[in-house]
Structure 1
Amino acid sequence: MAPEVKVPLLEGRGATPAQTLGNIVVSIVGTGVLGLPYAFRTAGWLAGTLGVAGAGAATFYCMLLLLDCRDKLREQETEEDGLGDEQSRHGDGGNYTYGDLGERCFGPVGRHFTEAIIVLCQTGGTVAYLVFIGQNISSVLPALSPAIVVLALLLPVEVALSFVRSLSALAPFSILADACTVLAVAAVVKEDVQLLVERGQPFADRSAFAGLWGVPFACGVAVFCFEGFCLTLALEASMSNRAKFRPVLLQAIAGVTVVYVGFGVCGYLAYGDATRDIVTLNLPSNWSTAAVKVVLCVALALTFAVMMHPIHEIVESRLLAPGGWVRRRGGFVERAALHLSRVAVVATLAAIACFVPAFGEFAAFVGSTVCALLSFVLPALFHLRVVGPTASTWARAVDYFFLLSGLVFAGHGMYTVLSPQ
């Protein structure tokens, strides 16, 4: 059975509401926030606001669908086998992973498909990290192209970090990355406010609605920004009082959505049509801006290993399958295969990052395809399968709405990338 996505901050049980609130924010907020002003430039400040707010509301609702599915399955197992058997299969009171839900709904195929989507989503996030770092370091050191930064500077570091197999050893880097993201956001907001004060009329020459096709783009970036969706069940299971999880989740999603909207609007109003796909690239060329970019990139480079951990676990679980050639050889062959698999995965992602032309478009593509499937389509599909037979007509209608909307959204994202420009 392939392992599910894990986060160091979630190890153990008994988290308070305040700790859970912090864990939710840490798992959601990532580099995508720095691409929001560009999304607002593409969609318009009003359309972007509606897109981000809609993505936040939809994300919260679909997280609740996962919890409803878990509760229903736990109830069914309790009725069929008794609490004792349930605990033996799922640990503390019937905990489920995202992959468990897929298997309970559609068998082994459901698990494999769900975990494949999780891997693709994590892969998109890691490639976005590399693209982000490459473009920012290249802006500080113009002599180095983003591709050179990724292949010559980042690849050796990430290969070395990939051999660190302990999540607890990598946990401090994840916290450092979030602190640096806050620092970068604060630096951008400071520049935004100064420019807005100088302009005097912030909404002058700024489009509220830039066109119909800009809205899906903004929604895609927003969905990409709401990272950590597959951690919903683990976050809830980490609480000492699970009954308080839903209000805590609402507070976190609402707070993050307000921050996202404010950051995106301020960035677009400050820079207008000059807004870059990574808004830190709009900052003035001085030592303080360069320092912010470098510190942020170093932190993200270190956190890359944490993002890669679930990918390595799933790849290695397949590589070391019982009865497989590698497992039968054991010893040196097994250790070498594990190390080579990690090198190959990291090198492949680095090569992909060299061909990604722009962070904003890539974030929108990942958000509107695999993230949309993970965040909207699968929760609605699982809910229809598990809870649908006993749910109200209205609840089933909402499930079908999210299912169809997510598929259309993903199809539009794929069409946008594959269609000739």
Structure 2
Amino acid sequence: MTVTAVHASMPPSTDVETAAGNGNGKPATAADAGAAFVLESKGTWWHAGFHMTTATVGPALLTLPYALRGLGWWLGVAALTALAAVTFYCYLLVSRVLDHCEAGGRRHIRFRELAADVLGSEWASYLVLIVQTAINAGVTIGSILLAADCLQIIYSHVEPHGHLKLYHFVIVVAVVLAILSQMPSLHSLRHINFGSLIVSVGYTVLVSVACICAGLSSNAPPKDYSLSSSKSARTFNAFLSISILASVFGNSILPEIQATLAPPASGKMAKALVLCYSVLSLTFYFPAMTGYWAFGNQVRSNLLKSLMPDTGPWLAPAWLLILAVVLVLLQLIAIALVYSQVAYEIIEAKSADAARGRFSRRNLAPRVALRTAYVAGCALVAAMLPFFGEVIAVVGAVGYIPLDVVIPVVMYNIALAPRGGGRRRSPAYLANAAIMVVFVGLGVIGAVASVRKLAINADRFKLFSNGLS
């Protein structure tokens, strides 16, 4: 979708009215239903903070001890801190560019529109759309798969000899998600996402306590924090870890989240980012450090799998681990709902009639059908590819790094450091250019390392299996 003439010519107040509607389910003069219905602009900064937290602080943080495994203690913690600082900075840049455009009379509510405006080319819009859609669909598929895995863990604990397979639980998750996906807008998820924030803190505390119990248990593996003896393996593992960290910090929908803010949106997103990263500082460091401390280089890519080994007793109280799994399951549903919003916005921009109410028969029937079809498609991929979680590091390298780090610094330098004068030689401009060069290199090398890991594990991948063989 291209940048419309409406966004280029209307003053901010008119553009906001266009996107938000009149409060009765009917847009005032909506340009398209995707903007009016899915990205309605009614939220406060703390609502945006809830959305940001759900989109950023997810169960992918359970891979953090595995990322530290590839880097070691000091380099791992340093990389974790550096990625936190860089991503916060880059998200703040995106928000400032959005504010800059809004001050100029162009309030953008979609990442692809912002990229096309600032970068000045239609290809930028299509490039961002392709990458963003791939990431969001991947996160939705991964969330369905991991949620099904959580259900299977609970089922196996209750019925050790049960006959249900992973794909059965994928169907259960898909049905629940299809029902909840009928909530009309990203703003309407604010209460669910507040619950998601509470849940994320809850299971983080539980998992951290479980890791301490495991580390003190006589059944825990020997604590070995040494890196691989092979120099090439150490290098590949280090870049794989950086790709994982990029995925964990990734958030590909910040402009769409900022679009939910009631106008004027200027300055509000910075508060939302502070809220999100305050939660992040608690939920990332505790499980990363306790998990790596407890299992060392024997930690698995999903920390829960280390706490609940396939053979032998669980390494923490069963009630504590099951409760943590239940909380992870709840947040995965919220994450899938949030990352589906861009797809729903694209669908409704094409299928819905903005001149009618969003609950009218004309718009309700296609919304139910198309959103359900989207969830069903994601669930089919999740059931067919139960090893989809192994692709997350590749997504981080080729998706999150360009969209969350490289494009923001480029857009900021173009929008707020124009040609001429000394601003192009300013410390901020040079720092942004350095970030771009470093992360382009990390993305390329990380992609190679991630694909290498997939190739090594390829013989374990079976379609419609009960997980990794």
TM-score, normalised to structure 1, is 0.77
What runs of 5+ residues in structure 1 fail to find an aligned partner? 78-85
> For residues 344 and 259 of structure 1, what CA distance do their matches in structure 2 show?
34
User: Which of the numbers 148, 151, 158 marks the counterpart of 2:168?
Assistant: 148
Secondary structure at the counterpart of residue 141 of structure 1: helix
> For residues 82 and 134 of structure 2, what CA distance do their matches in structure 1 show?
24
> For residues 226 and 7 of structure 1, what CA distance do their matches in structure 2 show?
24
Aligned to 2:176: 157
What is the Cα deviation at residue 307 of structure 1? Answer: 3.0
Which piece of structure 1 moves more, 49-58 or 353-362?
Answer: 353-362
**Is 1:351 the equivalent of 2:380?**
yes
Which piece of structure 1 moves more, 157-166 or 243-252?
Answer: 243-252
**Is 1:104 the equivalent of 2:128?**
no
Which piece of structure 1 moves more, 31-40 or 408-417?
Answer: 408-417
Query: Is the Cα–Cα contact under 8 Å of residues 377 and 402 in structure 1 kept in the other structure?
Result: yes
Q: Structure with the greater relative contact order (CA < 8 A, sep ≥ 6): 1 or 2?
A: 1
Query: Is the Cα–Cα contact under 8 Å of residues 95 and 269 in structure 2 kept in the other structure?
Result: no
**Is 1:383 the equivalent of 2:412?**
yes
**CA shift digits 1:72-131 (9 cap, x unpaired):** 5456x3xxxxxxxx3xx53xxxx6653332121224443333233332222222122112
Secondary structure at the counterpart of residue 211 of structure 1: helix
Amino acid in structure 2 at the alignment position of 1:206: Y
Aligned to 1:118: 132
Aligned to 2:462: none
**Aligned residues: percent identity?**
19
**Closer/same/farther in 2, CA of residues 108 and 392 from structure 1, 3 Å limit:** closer
Query: Is the Cα–Cα contact under 8 Å of residues 184 and 280 in structure 1 kept in the other structure?
Result: no
Which piece of structure 1 moves more, 212-221 or 291-300?
Answer: 291-300
**Closer/same/farther in 2, CA of residues 263 and 334 from structure 1, 3 Å limit:** closer
**Is 1:212 the equivalent of 2:235?**
yes
**Is 1:272 the equivalent of 2:296?**
yes
**Is 1:12 the equivalent of 2:43?**
yes
What is the Cα deviation at residue 169 of structure 1? Answer: 5.0
**CA shift digits 1:123-149 (9 cap, x unpaired):** 222122112112222233344333332
> For residues 219 and 6 of structure 1, what CA distance do their matches in structure 2 show?
37
> For residues 133 and 36 of structure 2, what CA distance do their matches in structure 1 show?
9
Amino acid in structure 1 at the alignment position of 2:348: E
**Closer/same/farther in 2, CA of residues 236 and 4 from structure 1, 3 Å limit:** closer
What runs of 5+ residues in structure 2 fail to find an aligned partner? 5-31, 157-162, 309-313, 457-469
> For residues 5 and 412 of structure 1, what CA distance do their matches in structure 2 show?
41
Give the paired residue count: 394
Amino acid in structure 1 at the alignment position of 2:179: A
More helix by share: 1
> For residues 156 and 192 of structure 1, what CA distance do their matches in structure 2 show?
33
Aligned to 2:424: 392
User: Which of the numbers 77, 93, 113 marks the counterpart of 1:49?
Assistant: 77
Amino acid in structure 2 at the alignment position of 1:58: V
Amino acid in structure 2 at the alignment position of 1:195: A
Aligned to 2:93: 65
Give RMSD over aligned pairs.
Answer: 4.0
TM-score, normalised to structure 2, is 0.70
> For residues 343 and 265 of structure 2, what CA distance do their matches in structure 1 show?
31
> For residues 5 and 289 of structure 1, what CA distance do their matches in structure 2 show?
42
> For residues 40 and 9 of structure 1, what CA distance do their matches in structure 2 show?
40
**Closer/same/farther in 2, CA of residues 275 and 360 from structure 1, 3 Å limit:** farther
What is the Cα deviation at residue 21 of structure 1? Answer: 6.2
Amino acid in structure 2 at the alignment position of 1:43: L
Secondary structure at the counterpart of residue 43 of structure 1: coil
What is the Cα deviation at residue 22 of structure 1? Answer: 6.2
